[in-house]
Structure 1
Amino acid sequence: EQDVVYGYLAHSYLTNVSQLLSAHPALASHVFVLDDFTEFIHAFADPQSGDLYGLPIEAFIKAYLYRTDLFGDPALQKQFVDQYHYPLAPAVTLDQYRDIAEFFTRYGEQNGLALWGTSVQGTTSGVASFYEFFETIAPAFGLYHWGIDLNSYYATEQNGGSLDSQRAVDALTYWVNLLAYAPPESRESDWNDVAATFAAGRVAQGWVYGEHVAWMATDATRSHVVGKVGVALPPTAPGVMEDATIGAGYLGYYDSAAFGIPVDSQNKEAALLWLQYLAQPSIQADWAIKSGRVVHLSTFDDPLVRAQDRRLHGYYSVMKKQGSLFSVAPPFPFHTQVRDVIAPYIQAAIAGQLTPEAALKAAAQAADAELTRLGYINN
């Protein structure tokens, strides 16, 4: 996974694929074209040398999904306008998202339906809630890179970080408050549970990893919302879209993963052939339409993918045209260690054991302490 590759590089766990290809030109496949990979191949390169340490096998956005049948219902559209005084449409702002969540939750209650206004990936027993907050909610408010300064590695605001800033508190407060409009299982939902909840028709909108979109929208044996899944950019606070457009921030998460070769592998040449086999363009389209993952530029234009794009209400088009507005995980070699320090405080806020302000204050202090212990912060 891209989020841990920086730690792997720091500990020299991986074989340099660029050097391996150069050393064995006879093993280079004629159908293997590095230039056809999307820009996320660079996430698996050494920042200094540019050498590759992995070849991507998945890449997808965490998309804003909504129920096209509900949003397109004339009666519901009229009710929404009467109550909120603007048209019912996929949310562009965070206030709109909350209004829509409230509206559909009330509609479900009044009509005896198992329907709520939003999903929440809010487990209190795993790291999935950490990821929804920092991959999706925080950047929507303009809080990037977990609130950790990329130069000093401080998280506390008094030292140049922003994890305990008012912006961060506003983001966590907003997200925790969305639980009032989410199904009861949300406090123990991970990424797979959120997809299952959406596919069961239990929510009107939500943030869902793109690896689930294809089956949710097309597989009637697993999904009750086939043909009813719309895709849009995530709603954001003022200024975030501008940040994302100029590269100063991002709207949400772009997942990516690659296959690499362990540095102590006894079969590096055979592994290199296998990596190139998996990277050949001829097998990408079938993989993309089934999994929602795209790692080659040419895959977007494949007839199979273009047809699937229509069935998925433009999911692949969003990735192709607006994927640059999303971001991979921060380039932290300490990803896992600091995640595990911060996550319990996010979970405590979800459980109501701490206020968002208290949770983030403690999380920022704990992050600073851990990064000092690891040697990344020098007091």
Structure 2
Amino acid sequence: MKRRDFIKVTGLGAAGAATLAAPAIAQSMPEIKWRMPTSWPKSLDTLYGGAEVMAKAVAEATDNKFQIQTFAGGEIVPGLQVLDAVQNGTCEIGHTASYYYFGKDPTFTFGSSVPFGPNMRINQAWYMLGGGKEVLNEFYKSYNVTSLLAGNTGCQMGGWFRKEIKTVADLNGLKFRIGGFAGKVLAKLGAVPQQIAGGDIYPALEKGTIDGAEWVGPYDDEKLGFYKVAPHYYYPGWWEGGPILLSFVNLDKWNALPKYYQNVLEQAGHYANNWMMAKYDQANPQALRRLLAGGTKLHAFPPEVMEASFKAAKALHSEIAGTNENFKKVYESLTNFSNNDYSWFQVAELAYDSFMARHAQG
């Protein structure tokens, strides 16, 4: 993608193009090389691919003067330590999921997805235009990073299980790979959450170290091979209705960037974000058909499990908000925005999608 095409794709328009064109052709643009560790194995061409798309867009929009080299999880730092590497300046930028760092502060969950939070579009609207980016970056500042939108998977699946989940009692003692805040919710229902990086999940599931695992959805899950050792595939992933992926940027490095490079980096993240959403919407239906044809057993979580999970999630939200001002502030911002948007979504979007889905199945 050439710089001119990038400007068109990101929707900067004539005025924006004029603003960007002048510094783009200036001979004085500095040459900058950054490293971007990610939390993803290279085999996941959606997640790791999103980081690559972002880096490529930056290079092509700056005539290769601003280059970002991407690294898979484990190549520089383990997949769950990307934030730490950016925070301490080991690397300038990282591509990850904010909720992986829930253990540092529960507020990190909002940079990805809170259990029973909004869908993909509402979550993004909140981040971009509803005050989400501002309230999150105010929080991230204390960790010496700022955030840029860099991906979204859409609503995820509920995961793979060796045995069927028919009642809430079936969760008791279940060792389940799940990240961050959602693990705390499931723990309230008796499950034993395990936070494991993507590339390490299959061995744990195969060896029986865990009883089940969730990742993203059919396309990625098929690549990771979970269907080979856990036949029961559940939906929906109520813990991730529309999870955002972010690029964390070291705050000092961000502030030192020329303004033009800051703009390019931010727009490249938006481009990668749109690419990732389209990629999942294109690839997931085909992958699900292949999985079902191969013997995967598809189940909806029973209403009893959904309601119990919802109740446990809301109780945990209230508990943490009562003692953590950062969490409370971001939670109130997201909840107020989400409730308002769902009042609109149920008018047109939900009715239309439900009608079309019924006829598509016919």
Answer with 1 or 2: which has the greater Rg: 1
For the aligned pair, the TM-score class normalised by the smaller chain equals 0.3 to 0.5
TM-score computed with the length of structure 2 as normaliser: 0.35
